[in-house]
Structure 1
């Protein structure tokens, strides 16, 4: 496991922080994380298990989170207006974030990669598959959706968590993470609050920028419905979704799989909107199986 964070410019204005785990000679596997979440939201041992299957695992901070570039100035993100259809406060879209991911591959001199995205990260890798199909060996979309607002809708409790005022200090951020896990965490798997607290503290110490998360949320709203474009995707695809997902209803995963011809849908009972350790064997096996078939 390498904990050395490196940084590269992926465009004239965006610097991306990343980590590489595993042998650089192995097939690259790029992990793309979700809304407001830093690359450390991909658990270390989850990454190690993927690397042990023979992949060079690369995780990174999206723009506006962690140690990558945070946008400053410009129009303040207005989440309420964006959710009502006014996207004038959008600083960028998911396509721009997909461009960041491809820019990272360029900077690392990687021609093609297996890509895995979780939640908003799933939306980003879907955009990569649509806009940069020749750069992807395979795509895995986890706990994500198509952008069609009729599917993947959050429960009322999860919406309350999503739109709650952000924490203002370290202790508040840790407490917020624990309370959020009670709503969107997986009811069918053990939850370790100490691990949640530790990861939340580390995330706060690395970078705390609620406005950056709001910009990402507006970008999601401004990016529209990808369903029709997903119908043209020919890349080997795996869709993973928790059957108990409270934040992105399972209908979002089902719609994603339905839109992409030949894709495989893996529904995990008891899993909600996180990556519970008890589900890692199923997820790692499925990603490895997809990548192996794609490379063959």
Structure 2
């Protein structure tokens, strides 16, 4: 289906769906500064082939969704837990998108910041989440999931000014934070970077999203109350969100499965897609055994 715009809580969210309209709803939530196209079409098609109605969307301040206002102060976010908006606001966006699509509840998978949003959705709106898959994410605890020094420096680098500079920056970034155990597909990354830039890159919005991450408190105590069937996937060699973040997430959620993927960094290499698709399907099946679809 072509991209569409939904009005949600006073903002616009650009979204797209794959698969049968009567399929099991699966909401995909992407990470920091990343538009929905970072959930590759082939990956979405693989999930649709498992019977899901796949929904991907641009978070606020990314891609073709609304660009918000407010200057982010990262020191204030970290020390005072104050930001222009919160992960809870972004989780409310996700719930509002489900409302706009007439979906009472969905399976939810999130990557990186998207995993944090998905966790928050399960905490604050448990009736909306049938199953939870948190990929290369963390609990927000400050002693787990810490980035390497080089990876952290990437988050604080001045934004590129031109399309060409953006493409080179993204290629350099994913050479550093990507999966050392799998081939780096530079052509695919350049294509993704070009399409991302053309859909809209918002450096101020990325900083606001980063402030929301830094301002959030440790979710582990709240995750212990989550009863949603959950899967945690993490790369064993992730330099941006250390694997300790994934392990902490799995420990916090009662009964969660943990899949640590050898050689995987902070990306989703094509070779790992079947493993992740199978994991999402497995945890969705488990959830539906507990609460069958109407």
Fold similarity call, TM over 0.5: yes
1:53 maps to 50
Contact 1:243 1:271 in 2 (8 A): yes
Q: Does 1:36 align with 2:33?
A: yes
In structure 1, how many angstroms separate the alpha carbons of the residues matched to 2:104 and 2:175?
A: 41
Match of 2:138 among 127, 137, 145: 145
**Helix, strand or coil for the counterpart of 1:240?**
strand
**Helix, strand or coil for the counterpart of 1:101?**
helix
In structure 1, how many angstroms separate the alpha carbons of the residues matched to 2:266 and 2:91?
A: 22
| Superposed displacement of residue 163, structure 1 | 1.3
Match of 1:78 among 73, 78, 82: 73
1:116-138 superposed Cα distances (whole Å, 9 cap, x missing partner): 00000000010011011011110
1:254 maps to 247
Q: TM-score, normalised by structure 2?
A: 0.97
In structure 1, how many angstroms separate the alpha carbons of the residues matched to 2:263 and 2:4?
A: 36
Match of 1:217 among 201, 210, 218: 210
In structure 1, how many angstroms separate the alpha carbons of the residues matched to 2:283 and 2:170?
A: 32
1:293 maps to 286
| Superposed displacement of residue 92, structure 1 | 0.5
1:65 maps to 62
Contact 1:143 1:241 in 2 (8 A): yes
1:92 maps to 85
5+ residue gaps, structure 2, are 290-294
The residue correspondences of 1:1-296 to structure 2 (distance < 5 A) are 2=1, 4-11=2-9, 13-72=10-69, 74=70, 76-83=71-78, 85-88=79-82, 90-296=83-289
In structure 2, how many angstroms separate the alpha carbons of the residues matched to 1:207 and 1:79?
A: 23
Give the number of equivalent residue pairs.
289
| Superposed displacement of residue 87, structure 1 | 4.2
Contact 2:132 2:230 in 1 (8 A): yes
In structure 2, how many angstroms separate the alpha carbons of the residues matched to 1:37 and 1:230?
A: 25
Q: TM-score, normalised by structure 1?
A: 0.96
**Helix, strand or coil for the counterpart of 2:286?**
helix
In structure 2, how many angstroms separate the alpha carbons of the residues matched to 1:165 and 1:36?
A: 14
1:136-170 superposed Cα distances (whole Å, 9 cap, x missing partner): 11000000000101000001111111211111110
5+ residue gaps, structure 1, are none
In structure 1, how many angstroms separate the alpha carbons of the residues matched to 2:168 and 2:188?
A: 12
**Helix, strand or coil for the counterpart of 1:29?**
strand
In structure 2, how many angstroms separate the alpha carbons of the residues matched to 1:153 and 1:69?
A: 30
In structure 1, how many angstroms separate the alpha carbons of the residues matched to 2:181 and 2:98?
A: 36
